[in-house]
Amino acid sequence: MAQVKNGDKVRVHYTGKLLSGEQFDSSAGREPLEFVVGAGQMIKGFDAALPGMAVGDKKVINIPATEAYGEKDDNAIIEFPKENVPADMKLEPGMQLNLTNQHGQPFPVTVSEIKDDVVILDANHFLAGKELVFDIELVEIV
């Protein structure tokens, strides 16, 4: 039976959870996720789990933050002047926003804190600093 190797295009079903058991993503009810193993399209720990699997194999993997979305980066905490926030926008901690960088590309941020003169925004990926658990099932080697 064929086993996955780097460079293979695969299709997998997955469920991603935090250590607490809280689910943050799943392919259930959707088409399987398709990607090329070892091409850098997936987080490192997910990619590394596929080689050696055969169609129909299932596994549960734990991925440390360093092999997932990295540790939280203090440089990704932004102090945004309140005067630049539209007057009619009601901000609340936990709110998701999109800002635009100097190249015109949007990037997501989360409102962390609202102070008198600035809004503290966190541009870290929402899973940064977290260990992840994935249930993976290899559906197909394309």
* The domain over range 74-122 is classified in CATH as 2.40.10.330: yes
More confident residue, 101 or 126: 126
Residue 132 has a pLDDT of 98
Sequence-ordered strand ranges (E) for 19-130: 23-26, 33-36, 58-63, 77-81, 96-100, 106-114, 118-122
3-state secondary structure of 74: helix
For residue range 70-113, what is the model confidence (pLDDT) as tens digits? Answer: 999 999 999 999 998 888 989 999 999 988 888 989 889 999 99
1 has a pLDDT exceeding 90: no
Segments of the chain assigned to CATH 2.40.10.330: 74-122
Taking only the tens place, the pLDDT of each residue in 23-79 is 999 999 999 999 999 999 999 999 999 999 999 999 999 999 999 999 999 999 999
* Residue intervals in the chain for CATH 3.10.50.40: 9-70+127-141
- pTM of this prediction? 0.82
Mark residue 131 as left, alpha or beta (left: phi above 0; alpha: psi -120 to 50; beta: remaining): beta
Tell me the pLDDT tens digit for each residue of 4-24. Answer: 999 999 999 999 999 999 999
At the top level of CATH, which class does the domain 9-70+127-141 belong to?
alpha beta
The rounded mean pLDDT for the chain is: 95
